[in-house]
Chain A
Amino acid sequence: MSTTHNRIMKRLDWMLEHSGRVTLYVLVSLALLVLTAPILVVTLISFNPTRTQYFPPSGISLRWYAEFFQTDYFVHSFFVVSLPIALVSALIATVLGGAAAYAIVRQDIPYKNLIQSFLLIPIMIPGVIIGFALLLTYGKVNLDAGYPRLILAHSVRLIPYALLTTMASLYSFDDDLIRAARGLGANRYEAFYKVTFPIIKSGVIAGFLLSFIISFANVNISLFLVRPGVTPLPVEIFSFLKFRTSPIIAAISTIQIFLILVLVLIIQRLAGFESVYN
């Protein structure tokens, strides 16, 4: 009697465990589908020769890429607006976030936790609200030039990313190395650029690349701050898509996805994403 009971319970456990595992993999597959389907589709249709006919596919074409390079406002948004803004904003954020990380981890300053939380506020506020609040403030102080409006807004948003990546590499760093350098006669600055910086360099570069990506792809903040002639690529695409559509967008998106893919692989090699998102 009790052995049958045990056998049934064991059988039930096995079924539960088995169905648990099946449920897990079904849900994970569904999640990966929802995550990756849009970018896969975008990449595929960018090589499709016709405008809307996908089935059956009638070949591979670079037509939409050629049309992108002939469309002035998209080329302008990509290379003259988004690229420089992302580079400069990422640089500012890396310097400011890196300085903050160094001060928090290495220096004897008061209220460390409070300061750290404070510097993380830019990622806790939705981008739309940061953009709108800056629209009001720029209006008040008469800041009309497009590039400063966008660069300042992006830089402040990016500081937390640079802060977190640099902090992670500083924490994984052995204090004794500095003691050794100092003991061997290096002064504070020599110890920094001969010992500390070479070791945390990959973390800092990863933070810079991550910031670059986030700025390049950002739409919610930029939405409120564009000026005639200074429209970042994602806002240009959004405005275009509100009224029409074209496979050119797929071609631009694929170029952007490829650029970001390369940068993501470099970041993963340099630092890993755990350092930022954990």
Chain B
Amino acid sequence: MSWVPLTSTRAWTPLARVTNLERGHLLILAPISFVALLLLLPLGYLAVISFREFNPNVIHGTGVTLKNYGQLLLDPFYRSYILYTLRLATIVSVLCLLLGYPVGFLLGRTSARKRAVLLFLVVLPLMAGLVIRTFGWLRIFGAEGLLNQLWLVLFGSKLQILGTTKAVIIGMVGVYLPFVVMPVYSSVESIDRTLEFAARNLGASKVQAFYKITLPLSIPGIVLGSIFTFTLSMSSVITPKLLGGRNDVTIGALIYDVALANSNWPFASAMAVTVVVINFLLIFGYLHISRGGMEAEQ
């Protein structure tokens, strides 16, 4: 026999074919049910709780109401935090894109050796963890921090950065930068380089070739990276809590406070559902547009 089909020879009989399929299903059913049970079901339950009424004696809430969503969207107190969060997430996403795109671009265009070093410098901080990096900023920005000790020696004065929105923005840009770098790298790398060479041959300068070819073709990476950064910023807790002031409260930090300090699970659920809905609208919008773009090309 020179060629053996990958599926078992027993697959020729209908019965064996059925058992084969079932074995395959068994292998895939375990992870599917695990994710369904520990993620989908809890998210569904979260949605249910978001329509319950807060009751100090029953932590899961009682009855059915739309009050939580009404309060979130209409109460000026909460609306100001939503607006703050959206503004913060936008600023952080734009800055991440500004700093992350060049890194992703360089990763996709540089030599293998430089790429390995650069990738290491991007991945290690990502892996080191959020709390450690936020602690690092704390020791840089603090009243007795590194920056202030340097500033004092150089200019004889002190800077007030810790406890301001500036510190939150810088801390968050550092944390979420890799989430822009990686998708941009991936889409720059997948661009057919002959397109750039063709543009250059036809008289475009390197800069023109970049703006006319590379940049437009790497838009999927840009959009995907921005979606990651935006939703992660909205739900951040650690960075605003440690680096920000009393008014630097994101929806994520609000969920944490309302759920754990106030034990108001229904209202915290309504906020969590809102974040997930925005998250998925952005992802589906992205998929819809990128698929539409691909169909238009064909």
A interface residue numbers (CB < 8 A to B): 13, 16-17, 20, 23-24, 27-28, 30-32, 34-42, 45, 52-55, 96-97, 99-100, 102-104, 106-109, 115, 118-119, 121-122, 124-130, 132-137, 139-140, 152-153, 155-156, 159, 163, 175, 178-179, 182-183, 188, 213-214, 216-220, 223-224, 234, 237-238, 241-242, 245, 249-250, 253, 256-257, 260-261, 263-264, 268, 273-274, 277-278
A-B contact pairs, 23 of them (CB 8 A): A24-B102, A28-B106, A34-B173, A38-B134, A40-B136, A42-B135, A109-B25, A109-B28, A126-B235, A128-B272, A129-B255, A132-B269, A152-B38, A153-B38, A159-B31, A159-B35, A179-B6, A223-B237, A242-B241, A249-B135, A257-B124, A268-B120, A277-B186
Given known contacts A55-B150, A133-B45, A264-B123, what 17 new A-B pairs fall within 8 Å (CB)? A27-B99, A32-B103, A35-B174, A42-B132, A52-B144, A103-B27, A115-B28, A122-B35, A129-B275, A130-B39, A135-B259, A139-B60, A175-B6, A183-B1, A223-B256, A241-B135, A278-B182
Residues of B contacting A264 in the complex (Cβ-Cβ under 8 angstroms): 120, 123-124, 127
Q: Nearest chain A CB to B224's CB is how many angstroms away? A: 11
Smallest CB–CB gap between B227 and chain A, Å?
9
Complex interface: chain B residues within 8 A of A97 (CB): 31
Whole-angstrom distance between the alpha carbons of A69 and B298 in the complex?
63
Q: Residues of A contacting B120 with CB < 8 Å? A: 264, 268
Whether the Cβ atoms of B30 and A54 lie closer than 8 Å is: no
Known: A99-B27, A159-B35. A133 touches B177 (CB 8 A): no
B279/A107 in contact, CB under 8 A = no
Does A256 lie within 8 Å of B128, measured CB to CB?
yes
CA distance A36 to B122 in the complex (A): 8
Q: Is the CB of A219 within 8 A of B130?
A: yes
Interface of A is mostly: helix
B57 within 8 A of A: no
Q: Which residue of B lies closest to A15 (CB)?
A: B207
User: Which residue of chain A has its CB nearest to the CB of B109?
Assistant: A24
**A41 and B132 contact, Cβ closer than 8 Å, known pairs A96-B30, A128-B256:** no
B39 to A128, Cβ gap below 8 A? no
Q: Which of A27, A53, A213 contacts B98 (CB 8 A)?
A: A27
Q: Of the candidates A53, A119, A137, which one forms a contact with B32 in the assembled complex, judged by CB atoms under 8 Å apart?
A: A119
Let me know if B3 and A179 touch, CB within 8 A.
Answer: yes
CA distance A278 to B182 in the complex (A): 7
Q: Please, which residues of chain A bring their CB within 8 A of the CB of B60?
A: 136, 139-140
Q: How far is the CB of B274 from chain A (nearest CB, A)?
A: 10
Q: Which one of B99, B125, B178, B265 lies within 8 Å of A39 (CB-CB)?
A: B125
Docked-complex contact B269 and A42, CB < 8 angstroms: no
B138 within 8 Å of A by Cβ? Answer: yes
CB distance from B163 to the nearest CB of A (A): 13
Please encode chain B, from 99 to 142, with 1 for each CB lying within 8 Å of some chain A CB and 0 for all others.
Answer: 11111011000000000100111111101111111111111101
Contact between B136 and A268, CB atoms less than 8 A apart: no
Neighbouring B residues of A32 by C-beta, 8 Å: 103, 121
The CA of A29 and the CA of B103, in the complex, are separated in Å by: 9
